[in-house]
Amino acid sequence: MPEISLLPGWAMAPETMQPLRAALLERLPGYQVNCHALPSLQLSSMEPDLAALAETLPPGVLVGWSLGGMLALQLQRRYPERFSAVVTIASNACFVARPDWQAAMPSETFKQFYADMRSDPAKTLKRFALLVTQGSAQRRELGKVLKWDQADPQQRLHGLALLGVLDNRASLARGTAPAMHCLAGKDALVPAATAEALSQLIGPANAPARVAVHPDASHALPLEQPLWLAGQIADFLETLDV
């Protein structure tokens, strides 16, 4: 039976993916769908950390939110025989802007957020929750159901540092595996311009790839629009032999 593994975003508990899991189980009754936690990941040990993460996930399709989506692409590139397709949700090729990738968070904004996370993690997490739900008509309700992971502040800093340096542009441009990228038009963390930038990046790719945008959703896309996401993912997977 095909399996779908759901990976949460930075600092998020796997339970944040439960609304999407329920919607996928309804839309794709022939699939097994499970939520997985992101382990502690560090730049200095990224290769063994990713190898260990791959071992905990069943073969099949990876669906990742934000950092989880960036890691899903990294895993698929390393273990193509294990992971047949990837869906990213509110995820960027580079989370932080580069001179040749401006559709991302400004570098100075990210550096300040990292410094704030190091000096006052509790206060910074509260601000992060507001950014995740910013742009949503359901902002207050979504803020109440966001759940943090069990990582300590140092582990979260390691994950944040990794988020700041990951760059999936080369693998996306090669298009060696089926991939879909679901974005939100009112995302405060991944700019709306990301959709066009990703479309141009994967345009010449050989593998099936697509970009879908919900015009009225926030970064909290898996919590805010699980039925829309499940429909997009199901339509994508039904075109593939996975």
Active-site annotation, residues: 66, 187, 219
Q: What is the DSSP letter of 209?
A: E
CA distances from 60 to 72, 80, 124, 142 (A): 11, 10, 35, 29
Instruction: Identify the bridge partners of residue 43 per DSSP, sorted by sequence position.
Output: none
Pairwise CA distance, residues 27 & 54, whole Å: 26
Angle at 22 between CA 11 and CA 5, to 5 degrees: 55
Pairwise CA distance, residues 91 & 190, whole Å: 7
DSSP codes of every residue in 94-120 = -SB-BTTB-SSB-HHHHHHHHHHHHH-
213 closest CA partner among 88, 68, 98: 88
Q: Give the SS3 label for residue 183.
A: strand
Instruction: Identify the bridge partners of residue 105 per DSSP, sorted by sequence position.
Output: 96
Amino acid at 238: E
Q: Radius of gyration of the chain from Cα atoms?
A: 16
